[in-house]
Amino acid sequence: MSSDLLVDLGEDPATAQLGQLKLTTIEDQQWPTDVSQDFNAGSPHLPWDHPYYDIARHQIIEVAGDDNFGRKVIVFNACRMPPHHQLDHHKLLMYLKGTLDQYVESDYTLIYFHHGLTSENKPSLSWLRDAYREFDRKYKKNIKALYIVHPTMFIKTLLILFKPLISFKFGRKINYVSYLSELEAVVKCDQLMIPARVREYDNKLRASLKPSAQPPTSPPRSPPLPNQVFGVPLAVLRQRDPDGDPVPVVMRDTISFLSEQGNANTKLSGGETVGFREMEDVHLAAVILKTFLRELPEPLLTYQLYNDIVNFACKSEHISLVESLPEENLASLRYLITFLAQVSANSEVNKMTNSNLAVVFGPNLLWGRDNAMSLSAIGPINNFTRTLLDQQHLVFT
């Protein structure tokens, strides 16, 4: 690729020349392969001497809960990338791979906020090419969608240039999103912790449109319906239950269906009854269960325990932490963990070990008040969840 072409795409000649140099392969670099190694559980953030501290501190990559289809959401913020001389792009790639490694065994969604990528912080084309090649089928197989928010002519031209390298199947997963309001069909924007610069840019784009061309705004949230169970506090659901059962009916029905494949019904957000047996869809029941947990106004393990669990180090403390939960939370957690322990008992067949189950359910049991979850918090939360599964007979006696 000629340096003239690189200049035409917005790079200065010096950067273009650097882009033509042969990069050292990732395998030749001596970076640690385990992003979470040497993690200090006594801090909710990576310590300054952590091998990836210089990457994590910029918050370029974040985990932002699940999308509207129950898939994990990974966010990449271009505006938070510092200038070239302040960022090691090889380590950034390894950090991104370390994040994805925790989720690639299940379906996931990648959202890329393009605004803020400039000639100051833009990686070279040769690095982008090598980065795409670095992500093998393991990473591409279960990514269900890549959303490029606020695309420019540069990024569209770049994808045209990369077209010979991009498989047809992966190319179909790439979606352009012109305005943040369009993302609402995929994920709740409030949970993404979108950088202020990106929101300001989106507002400017919207303001520049003629009134007739204005994109649709997100509809206001309607008040809860009488039979609504999603997004409703556990205490309220218990008050509504005819028998005062502390475990919500949606948890009882989905878990009963998953356990026994029996005749189970559940009430969805609008109060509509759905028969799982009629649909014969185990995946749907699992997604509904995870979505119910994720949409609780407060996580099942509560905001009050967030810092204690993120700093979780001593396994002897887990019993006292669980016992401090409100009655509805404790009963629901016991019900869920008991079921998951039964699933892991058949791990030789279903491959769902305690570790795998912790990765799948941990982020749906606890998150911060801002709804975002840093890589440094994921490990302790998943470790705590695994401890509950490993010692469920001791914890819930």
Is it true that 52-208 and 234-264+276-396 share their CATH fold? no
Please give the pLDDT value at position 77: 95
pLDDT in tens, 124-149: 878 887 788 888 788 888 888 899 99
Q: Specify the CATH architecture of the domain 52-208.
A: 3-Layer(aba) Sandwich (3.40)
Judge whether residue 267 has pLDDT over 50.
no
pLDDT in tens, 139-195: 888 888 899 999 988 888 878 777 777 777 777 888 888 899 888 888 888 888 899
**Torsion, Cα of 259, 265, 268, 274 (10° steps):** 110
Report CA-CA distances (Å) from 106 to 31, 35, 171, 352, 357: 26, 19, 20, 12, 11
Q: Residue 293: which pLDDT band, with cuts at 50, 70 and 90?
A: very high
Strand pairing report for 143-149 and 174-177: parallel
Cross-sheet strand order for the sheet of 108-113? 61-66, 72-77, 108-113, 143-149, 174-177
Please give the pLDDT value at position 247: 95
Q: Residue 274: which pLDDT band, with cuts at 50, 70 and 90?
A: very low
Judge whether residue 315 has pLDDT over 80.
no
pLDDT in tens, 18-56: 344 333 343 444 445 455 444 333 333 567 777 888 888
Which residue did the predictor score with more confidence, 384 or 67?
Answer: 384
pLDDT in tens, 236-254: 999 988 899 999 999 998 8
Where in the chain are the domains? Answer: 52-208, 234-264+276-396
Fold type of domain 234-264+276-396: Phosphatidylinositol 3-kinase; Chain A (1.10.555)
